[in-house]
């Protein structure tokens, strides 16, 4: 139980710490999912089965909505930057999208509030239940979950602000080129160190060209939209109803579903347990002091996270780049996802490839080598032996004579040793 709980807590923290620096909107959400799943596992480990399952359910609604919203954002972005996931999914190119896609923005905000644990949205009730039951088991676990809740609020609002607030950066050719170069550098690294990607060279050339062009029509901002051949328009658009309708449909449970599992009336807990079973760990009366301290503190840390995000990404009072520079190693660790992908690549992908190649080497060199050696030895023996069959009768007679002589000698030496030897010796002497 303890191992499970700590695994969950570590996963929650790991996911959140990675999500905090991701620039790809979907990757950010994916690592956030990982973090939330960590919460659920932590709840299992702490014995709060119902709380974990409740979080699973609330999370299903708001995370589905967030992912759909990110899809809607990407769809809108593709109108500007073209069908390139490197550009269309990067939050550095987004911003100010609330003006262009209001429905997506509002639903995304609801999801963000829900996952940050702000009442009365769904995530608050389930996360609070997990944190409350964890605190009863182990305050250390609770602390990890509590801090992670703050990070969650921070990175989710970072995501919301850089996507939907501020100026729209989608037409900034400089950022686009920078992203392309970063992408190809990553690609080059995965191909192998020192491998020069030909596309990188052409891209650099294109980069300079684009910069020159950029200077040329500096005064005319409207001209930006016509940069690439694949640019359809300079503004993103709201997605059609087929996308916004599910978003709106998911927004309702994202707000309200938490109310089925409040500490005052926990219908959810009663639902998952059979009627006859006595529910443990859930007090029949609401402990208002505990609820208020726990709930208040988790809302508090959520608000701290949100305020930090407001300062850094909305009002730009604090420069996130400067912070990243001062804690460069930590920033790189988070940006590169704790290097887990790279370790897996080296250990498992490259490792199994190397093993397979060595096995093949053994197969070709050793196993097949023995087979070919057998054939070779047979051939050599045959080639050697054929000189014995020269067809000359004298040679055959010589061999017969030699054999008889050898026999005589052998029988002479061993004469009298055995009956068989004696008889043979006598017979040969008589000839």
Partner 1 sequence: MDTANFPWLTTSILISDCCCPYLIPFIPDKDGKTVRWYSLVVGLIDFCILVYAFYTQYDFSNPDLQLVESYSWVSSLDLRWSVGADGLSMPLILLTGFISTLAILASWPVTFKPKLFYFLMLAMYGGQIGVFAVQDMLLFFLMWELELIPVYLLLSIWGGKKRLYAATKFILYTAGGSLFILVGALAMAFYGDTVTFDMRSLMQKDFPLNFQLLVYGGFLIAYGVKLPIIPLHTWLPDAHGEATAPVHMLLAGILLKMGGYALIRMNIEMLPQAHVYFAPILIILGIVNIIYAALTSFAQRSLKRKIAYSSISHMGFVLIGMASFTDLGLSGAMLQMVSHGLIGASLFFLVGATYDRTHTLILDEMGGVGKKMPKIFAMFTTCSMASLALPGMSGFVAELMVFVGFFDQRGLRLTLLR
* Positions in the binding site for partner 1 (CB under 8 A): 352-353, 355-357, 359-360, 363, 367-368, 370-371, 375
Minimum separation from the CB atom of position 229 to partner 1 (A): 23
Read off the tokens for 123. Answer: 């995530």
Residue 178 is classified by DSSP as H
Angstrom distance (rounded) from CA 111 to CA 86: 24
Structure tokens at 51: 């709380």
Please, which residue, 311 or 380, has the CB nearer to partner 1? Answer: 380
CB of 373 to partner 1, least distance (A): 12
Q: How far is the CB of 312 from partner 1 (least distance, A)?
A: 45
d(CA 256, CA 262): 11
Q: Which is nearer to partner 1, 195 or 360 (CB)?
A: 360
Give the whole-angstrom CA distance, residue 228 versus residue 79.
12
Nearer CB in complex with partner 1: 345/352: 352
The structure tokens 């599910």 sit at 246
Bond before 219 cis per omega within 30 degrees: no
CB 360 to partner 1: min, Å: 4
> Rounded to the nearest whole angstrom, what is the least distance from the CB of residue 380 to partner 1 in the complex?
16
Residues ≥6 apart with Cβ < 8 Å to 138: 2, 5, 46
Measure Cα distances from 322 to 156, 182, 327 in Å: 20, 20, 9
Q: What distance lies between CA 29 and its chain's CA centroid?
A: 12
- CA-CA distances (angstroms) from residue 414 to 269, 398, 404, 419, 420? 101, 24, 15, 10, 10
Least separation in angstroms between CB 367 and partner 1: 5
Q: Cα separation of 128 and 295, whole Å?
A: 6
The SS3 of residue 21 is coil
Residue placing its CB nearer to partner 1 in the complex, 201 or 359: 359
Our CA angle for 306, 103, 75, nearest 5°, is 95
Q: Measured from the CB atom, is 209 or 368 closer to partner 1?
A: 368
Nearer to partner 1, 221 or 354 (CB): 354
Nearer to partner 1, 279 or 370 (CB): 370
Least separation in angstroms between residue 344's CB and partner 1 is 17
Q: Which is nearer to partner 1, 293 or 352 (CB)?
A: 352
CB of 364 to partner 1, least distance (A): 9
Q: How far is the CB of 361 from partner 1 (least distance, A)?
A: 8
Cβ nearer to partner 1, comparing 217 with 363? 363
CA angle 316, 318, 320 (to 5 degrees): 95
What burial class does residue 285 get, using C-beta atoms within 10 Å of its C-beta: 0-12 exposed, 13-18 middle, 19+ buried?
exposed
Angle between helices 2-19 and 139-164 (to 10 degrees): 20
């Amino acid at each position: 139980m303890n191992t499970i709980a700590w695994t969950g807590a570590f996963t929650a923290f790991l996911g959140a710490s990675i999500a905090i620096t991701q620039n790809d909107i979907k990757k950010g959400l994916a690592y956030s999912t990982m973090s939330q799943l960590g919460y659920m596992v932590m709840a299992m480990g702490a014995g709060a089965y119902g709380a974990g399952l409740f979080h699973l359910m609330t999370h299903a609604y708001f995370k589905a909505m967030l992912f759909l919203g990110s899809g809607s954002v990407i769809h809108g972005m593709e109108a500007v930057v073209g069908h390139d996931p490197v550009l269309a999914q990067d939050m550095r190119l987004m911003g100010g999208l609330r003006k262009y896609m209001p429905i997506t923005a509002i639903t995304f905000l609801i999801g963000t509030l829900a996952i940050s644990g702000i009442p009365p949205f769904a995530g608050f009730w389930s996360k609070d239940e997990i944190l409350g039951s964890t605190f009863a088991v182990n305050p250390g676990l609770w602390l990890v979950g509590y801090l992670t809740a703050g990070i969650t609020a921070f990175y989710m609002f970072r995501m919301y602000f850089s996507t939907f607030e501020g100026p729209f950066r989608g037409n900034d050719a400089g950022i686009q080129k920078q992203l392309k170069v970063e992408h190809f550098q990553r690609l080059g690294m995965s191909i192998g160190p020192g491998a020069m990607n030909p596309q990188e060279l052409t891209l650099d050339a294109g980069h300079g060209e684009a910069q020159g062009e950029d200077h040329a029509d500096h005064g005319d901002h409207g001209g930006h939209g016509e940069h690439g051949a694949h640019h359809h328009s300079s503004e993103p658009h709201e997605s059609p109803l087929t996308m916004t309708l599910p978003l709106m449909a998911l927004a309702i449970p994202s707000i309200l579903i938490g109310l089925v599992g409040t500490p005052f009336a926990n219908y959810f807990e009663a639902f998952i347990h059979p009627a006859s079973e006595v529910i443990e760990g859930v007090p029949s009366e609401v402990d208002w002091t505990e609820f208020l301290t726990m709930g208040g503190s988790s809302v508090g840390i959520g608000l701290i996270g949100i305020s930090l995000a407001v300062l850094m990404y909305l009002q730009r009072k604090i420069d996130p780049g400067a912070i990243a520079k001062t804690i460069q190693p930590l920033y790189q660790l988070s940006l590169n996802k704790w290097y887990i992908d790279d370790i897996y690549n080296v250990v498992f992908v490259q490792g199994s490839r190397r093993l397979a190649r060595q096995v093949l080497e053994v197969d070709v060199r050793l196993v097949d080598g023995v087979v070919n050696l057998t054939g070779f030895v047979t051939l050599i023996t045959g080639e050697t032996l054929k000189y014995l069959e020269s067809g000359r009768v004298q040679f055959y007679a010589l061999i017969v004579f030699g054999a008889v002589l050898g026999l005589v000698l052998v029988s002479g030496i061993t004469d009298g040793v055995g009956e068989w030897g004696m008889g043979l010796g006598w017979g040969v002497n008589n000839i």
